[in-house]
Amino acid sequence: MVDKYSKSIKKFKELAFCNGDFFLSFFSKNQKYLRYSLYKNYCLCFKYKNSNMIGKIIYLYRKFKYLRISSKINVQLPFNEFVDHFYFNHYNIVISKKAIIGKNCNFVGNNCVGGNSKGEPKLGEGVYLGYGAIVIGNVEIAEKTVIGAGAIITKDILKPGSYVVGLDEVLK
């Protein structure tokens, strides 16, 4: 039986290695392999989090590997809720522990999704964050929203399929 974690790892691997260079990446430990390895360990942490004694040992090992790779490439994913079918192209991604991320979200790189004293952000399904995009505060982003490079979001974007640039400026 294939669980949701294995499906998510497989989907991430397909996205990361679409041209089939997995073995070359494995031996050279390049950027693609580090991203894949980080996400794989992240998923396996959730798989073994609440299991028996051997599962707890596997969980601690995978968490150690995740934290080691995470500090190397500066990607911090939330551990309160599993982020399913999540993809990131580059490094320097910080997601708040209480942020809610929908399925199939794509982070290009150098992104920050963080809360403030008012609450945490909620990203809908299929949200795309361009390079350097920042989402701060108790905001809700509708599904299939495209947030442009360098955009700063501090207000709700409730219309699905919107294009957002600059400081909360919705184009469509």
Please give the average per-residue pLDDT across 49-62, as a whole number: 90
DSSP, collapsed to helix, strand or coil, labels residue 79 as coil
d(CA 63, CA 68): 9
Which tokens belong to 57? Answer: 């040992």
Which tokens belong to 170? Answer: 């919705």
Average pLDDT, the chain: 86
**Partners of residue 165 on adjacent β-strands:** 169
DSSP 8-class letter at 140: E
Provide the total of helices (H) and of strands (E) in the chain, helices listed first.
4, 14
What pTM was computed for the model?
0.83
Q: Any idea which residue has 């079918």 for tokens?
A: 85
pLDDT the model gives residue 35: 85
- For the chain, residues classed under CATH 2.160.10.10 are 87-170
The residue among 73 and 24 whose pLDDT is bigger is 73
Query: Looking at beta carbons, which pairs linking 142-145 to residues 24 or more positions away fall under 8 Å?
Result: 143/102
**In the predicted structure, residue 140 carries a pLDDT above the cut 90:** yes
pLDDT the model gives residue 13: 76
d(CA 11, CA 166): 31
Question: pLDDT tens digits for 3-26?
Answer: 778 888 887 777 776 666 666 555
Q: Does the structural domain 87-170 have CATH classification 3.40.50.300?
A: no
